[in-house]
Amino acid sequence: MTTDVDLDQYRTEAARWLADNVSRRDASSYRGARGGGEESPEFIAEQRALQHKLFDAGYAGIAWPVEFGGAGLTNAHQRVFNEEASGYALPILLGVTLGMIGPTVLMYGTDEQKRAWIPKMLSGEEIWVQFLSEPGAGSDLAGVRTRATRDGDTWVINGSKVWSTGAMYSDVGMCLARTDWDVPKHRGLTWFRVPIAADGVTVRPIREINGGAEFCEEFLDDVVVPDDHAIGEINGGWPIANTLLALERGAAGGAGAGMMASRRRRLAPDLVALAREAGTEGDARVRQEIARAHINDYMHGQLAQRVVASIANGTLDMSGASMIKLGSGIYNPLRARIGMEIGGAAAIAWDTDDAEGNDTATTYLNGRIMSIAGGSNQIQRNLIGERLLGLPREPSFDTDKPFNEVLRDAQMWGE
């Protein structure tokens, strides 16, 4: 394929291929045998096989370089495919791999790393997950304490991570670790590729309020990785972390955008269908709430498109993604509440085969995910104020202090 492929022709071909090769999306598209992040081995195998089918057809990594397994087309072609694929059950388990980690590796990895790793991501052979947050490093992500110590031509990693989505079925963790304790906390961090099957890696699912176990915690005990598994410069991991977080917040509509959009739709059941099921579609108040939700849907979609386009054309840096993320953090709880109000009793108790009632209640329980995950609403407001509006930074006592001194002071004060 070449970049001069006509968009209308491409749309027609993509629509035909999707109709012939991918199932239409329904409630079962988002669940394995048990759902809630506890996908069955059969479901995971189906997801990998479907991703491989997309890869073979040239619909994985549409705007990624050909030399690394992509199709070498443009973001416009990717957007066209996402539009045509919106009603189909794309392989959602690779949303993090292709929407966040893959683009980050493309930006910071060596050519050898990209040739070795990117095609495996695109084909579904490897599912990657973030090893990012820690019990003591969430909002203050630069406070990571997982330690990576050089040992000849290898690194030995010790520490723990938490809130890793899908680690129980993933193959590789992209792990942020501290490699220098004698410099300020933002300057001593390095990223590593960590095979989850490696000796010393333990993954434990975390039971959530919605009954699922989508998130995991990981323990790394003397995990050995080769030197060529370091991603980017040694001690240069903080800019990479910012890139990864910007992508998580919606900075680009890349190869994983369709899958991540599909995953978001699981948390937003159609309100019109819900009102009809509850028998409230004729209620004037319900109709107003549905109109309110659809207006917000449209406006948030337009905001996301504008921010992504501005980042792509260079008129806005990647921190602009905080506007998309803050919008989701504010809007998702509101939409979840609207769903509960429309569903009424059917959203509190439902028959076992009633997907709308189940989804509505789960949506309500999950409604605040985006106000916390990937940086809380408060963090996004800080980023918008400081990086986009040029407001003064919040005062910090440890910005220029060596991290080992920060830890010593914290221990002294009993923190």
Please report which helix (H) or strand (E) contains residue 176, including its range.
strand 172-178
106 within 8 A of 112, measured Cβ to Cβ: no
Nearest-angstrom CA–CA distance, 94 and 96:
6
Residue 67 is a catalytic residue: no
Q: Is the separation of the CB atoms in 233 and 209 below 8 Å? A: no
Contact (Cβ atoms closer than 8 angstroms) between residue 153 and residue 124: no
Q: At what angle do helices 355-366 and 271-278 cross, to 10 degrees?
A: 120
Is the Cβ–Cβ distance between 164 and 131 less than 8 Å?
Answer: yes
Give the torsion through C-alpha atoms of 193, 197, 200, 201, to 10 deg.
Answer: 70
The structure tokens listed for 148 are 């990576």
The single residue of 39, 84, 134, 248 carrying the catalytic annotation is 248
Length in residues, the chain: 415
Strand 201-205 versus strand 230-231 pairing type: unpaired
**136 neighbors 143 (Cβ within 8 angstroms):** yes
Per the rule left: phi > 0, alpha: psi between -120 and 50, beta: everything else, 134 is beta
| Residues designated as active site | 248
